[in-house]
A and B are shown apart, each in its own frame.
Chain A
Amino acid sequence: MNTDDVLISTDCYHCGETCDETTVYLDEKPFCCSGCKMVYEILNDNELGTYYCLEDQPGISFKKYQSSKRFDYLEDASVIDRLVDFRNNGFISASFYIPNIHCTSCVWLLENLFKLNDGITKSSVNFLKRELSISFDEEKISLREVIELLASIGYEPELRLEKLDNNEAASPNRRLWLKLGVAGFAFGNIMLFSFPEYLSGSTLNTQGSFHIFFGILNILLALPVLLYSSNDYLKSAWAAVKQGGINLDVPISIGILALFSRSVYEIITGVGAGYMDSFTGLVFFLLIGRMIQKKTYERLSFDRDYKSYLPISVTFLDEEGNERSTSIDKLTEGMQMLIRNRELVPADAELLSDSCYVDYSFITGESDPVEVQQGETVYAGGKIIGPSVTLKAIKEVSNSYLTKLWNNAAFEDHQQNRKVSSLADRISPHFTLAVIGIAITAGILWLPTSTEMALTVSTAVLIIACPCALALSTPFTLGSALNILSRNGLYIKGIEVIEQLANTTSVVFDKTGTLTKADQAEVSFNGKITEHEQALIANACRQSMHPLSQKIASNIKAPQLDVTRINEQINKGITAAVEGQSLVIGSKLFLEEQLPQHIPTPNHDKAVSVVHIAIDGEWKGWFAIGNSYRGGIKDMLFTFKERFSTFLLSGDNDSQKKQFAPYFGKDSLRFDQTPQQKLEFIKDLQQHGHNIIMIGDGLNDAGALQQSDFGIALTDNVSSFTPACDAIMDGKSLRRLNTFINFSQRSITIIKLSFGLSLLYNIVGLSFAVAGQLSPLVAAILMPLSSISIMVFTTVSTHLAAKKMGLASWK
């Protein structure tokens, strides 16, 4: 954002939201709400004004204010023990996931927390993980106060049940870094010691003592590379051979072992200088490839279970009716919970309040909220819409409907049978056999000359044919593809699943939340109405919690008016008096009850909901409220219809069948699907040989997402919670899915091309080897050259392909 914009519009100085009539001014700076102003004051008083200098309007909006009672559970010693990482002499270290971290200012402020409270000794942010590590003095500030402090400046940590259950392991990348370091260290030093060998005419070379000295040093340096750096390859190859299979690690391990043992033999017998430089270089490059392969999105989680959906705490009422808060696993049968607007119900419960609306779209996909009356059951996972309600838990969290759904056997058993074999793995058995074949044949051909020569040639073949380039092309190509796709809004779990995306034959969509937006609606008015009358309607609708009223109210921008009387009949309509005018808003039947007049039946699509309006006893017209589609999806659906078999699986009723019919083939629209049915449907398609992309958003799609060959969870905020899947996609990018599939196919082509290139190197190398001419110098040049050229080729061509397809490739 440039500075001119900031000056012209009245955007909040703190959070950047557009200020409305409730703007507060302080120091001539506008604030959208008192929450933002308060944070500004806190920061200013503590000389933390730099926060606003690093980025424009870095703050977090405070409009969603919540009760501070919700932190009560943080006083509980057992909860504290599970949240802190480390405790020593009253000093506590803990780390929190804070989804609101989004810019440099956030990092700066959170790392200067000690200025706000001297109990905090150190705080540091990991931006990619959105994680704050903090240590504080327990005597000066409690855990609860730390969290409240964070919440008060807009950085409330997200504490989830999941975190309570497991302690995170140390970063697995550290070991890979160490292995890479050892290999790089040995590679560099051995190259130096081997240098005299390269200049075979030099005087140094002829002096025997140096020869032996350098040879022994090389063996000493290469040993840790063999035993430590390369042991992942050796272990994996050994495991594959034991199971009777051959993966890419087998030929690599054969090459590694041949290189090392031949070199040791040469050095000890004094025949030659060995190939230790090639050996360590090979391992070094392979580990670089592995490093790229390991790179994932640390802040995204692709394997979530139901626990991630539930909040960590719940507000309950104790015997005296006071609001208290407790961690969710302490919730027992019979406890009374208080659930506020848009909060999830954590356990199956009986409604104690009069009535409420529950949104089950997350679990079932049904987009219309369900009305629940007093005494009826609200199932876990439902979201309360409207004023706070009191519920009595009838089951514990672990026995509730939501949990059972997840523990369903069908959700688990597919995990073992889904084994992805990569292109490289499929090639390697043939490759390995061919290499061993050539080595043996060449050995036999040389046998008449001398046994030693035969052995030399066979090992030379094994060495030169080591598929280093083959092993590097996949991680480098797909690693770049992964980066490029993430810049365009598709975050894929790891490089091994990209091939699945390229092999797609069918695409299955969920409806609510995927093709349509669940919380947004297209509202249009049919009839004549003035702006003032619109304002009257908006004000009356704001008073009602019915989802249709809410949709109307949010679609009309109107100032606050005086509502003198409001009367709502559940599921029928509302009568209200606003600014002295009387309004009747509701269904056709409701208006006919209230007015003497006959209301015409509007001619409309079955897919839209209708709300009639009467002002001062006169019928004015009706609102049509329909689903709002995501941008650009209609074109995408048409393209897909031509290219793949497409299907729609919806948990919703079939009222919108007509709307979607043109975009899909015959018999490919299915409504009223339970999560289980969705999963079975995918399984059935797979048995007919389809390779399926499933695109969904809610828990109801979780089974189908896992069963499918490539499950994409769609979300409008990539840091928010999504079901377990292979990829997370930004809602805005859905329309470009076709390009993404094309791009993944192009990446696979690039891999095949680079296989061809590496084969070429192998043929050149083999001709040297078979002829018995493989000197250490040839090996030392050929091996790094092939590796580096493959890295360059794959990376550059992937980026060129992306550019050609109109994808953003560089930052």
Chain B
Amino acid sequence: MEVIFMLVGFSLMVALLFLGLFFWAVRDGQYDDGHTPAMRILFDKNKDNSKKQSKTTNTKNNTD
């Protein structure tokens, strides 16, 4: 049963990793605006724009 010590240790490390990710996300400002991302999700839906949209992503990658 001593394996439980190890398993608990690993599980805690995974949990801490997620807590760390949460901290990073909050500090990055992802929790500052809960509304606009919900609107952005509509942008890709547009069919006739699929070509332009992929171009958008390229340009964004270049400039970032």
Contact = CB atoms under 8 A, between A and B. Distances in A.
Contacts of A127: 33, 35-36, 39
Contacts of A2: none
A108 B46 CA distance: 12
A426 B26 CA distance: 35
Q: How large is the interface on B (under 10, 10 to 19, 20 to 34, 35 or more residues)?
A: 20 to 34
B17 to A, nearest CB: 11
Contacts of B12: 189, 217
Contact of B43 (A108, A121, A122): A108
A193 B42 CA distance: 42
Interface string B29-48: 10111111001101100101
A767 interface: no
A210 interface: yes
Nearest to B41: A104
Contact of A104 (B34, B42, B48): B42
A174 B27 contact: yes
Given A50-B49, A128-B36, A121 B5 contact: no
A311 interface: no
A91 to B, nearest CB: 11
Contacts of B32: 126, 171, 173-174
B26 A181 contact: yes
A114 interface: yes
A50 B39 CA distance: 14
Contacts of A125: 36
Interface in B3-40: 4-5, 8, 12, 15, 18-19, 22-23, 26-27, 29, 31-36, 39-40
B57 to A, nearest CB: 12
The B interface is mostly helix, strand or loop, or mixed, namely helix
B19 A181 contact: yes
A181 B35 CA distance: 20
A108 B23 CA distance: 29
A50 B23 CA distance: 36
A1 interface: no
Contact of B36 (A115, A126, A174, A207): A126
The A interface is mostly helix, strand or loop, or mixed, namely helix
A53 interface: yes
Nearest to A103: B39
A664 interface: no
A104 B39 contact: yes
Contacts of B31: 173-174, 177
B26 A122 contact: no
Contact of B64 (A107, A122, A171, A217): A122
B26 A114 contact: no
B48 A107 contact: no
B27 A114 contact: no
B54 interface: no
Interface string A168-187: 00010110011001100100
B56 A213 contact: no
Given A107-B39, A178-B26, A53 B48 contact: yes
A112 B56 contact: yes
Nearest to B15: A189
A620 interface: no
Contact of A122 (B49, B52, B56, B63): B63
Contacts of B36: 107, 124-128
A121 B62 CA distance: 9
B48 A181 contact: no
Nearest to B42: A104
A53 B40 contact: no
Given A185-B15, A185-B19, A54 B35 contact: no
A171 B18 CA distance: 22
B34 to A, nearest CB: 8
Nearest to A128: B35
Nearest to B28: A174
A654 interface: no
Contacts of B22: 181, 185
B33 A129 contact: yes
Interface of B: 1, 4-5, 8, 12, 15, 18-19, 22-23, 26-27, 29, 31-36, 39-40, 42-43, 46, 48-49, 52, 56, 59-60, 63-64
Interface of A: 47, 49-50, 53-54, 104, 107-108, 111-112, 114-115, 121-122, 124-129, 171, 173-174, 177-178, 181-182, 185, 188-189, 193, 207, 210, 213, 217
8 contacts: A128-B33, A128-B34, A128-B36, A174-B26, A174-B27, A181-B22, A185-B18, A217-B8
Given A177-B31, A181-B23, 20 more contacts: A50-B43, A53-B46, A53-B48, A53-B49, A104-B42, A107-B36, A111-B40, A114-B63, A115-B59, A121-B64, A122-B60, A122-B64, A127-B35, A127-B39, A128-B33, A129-B33, A171-B32, A181-B22, A185-B19, A189-B15
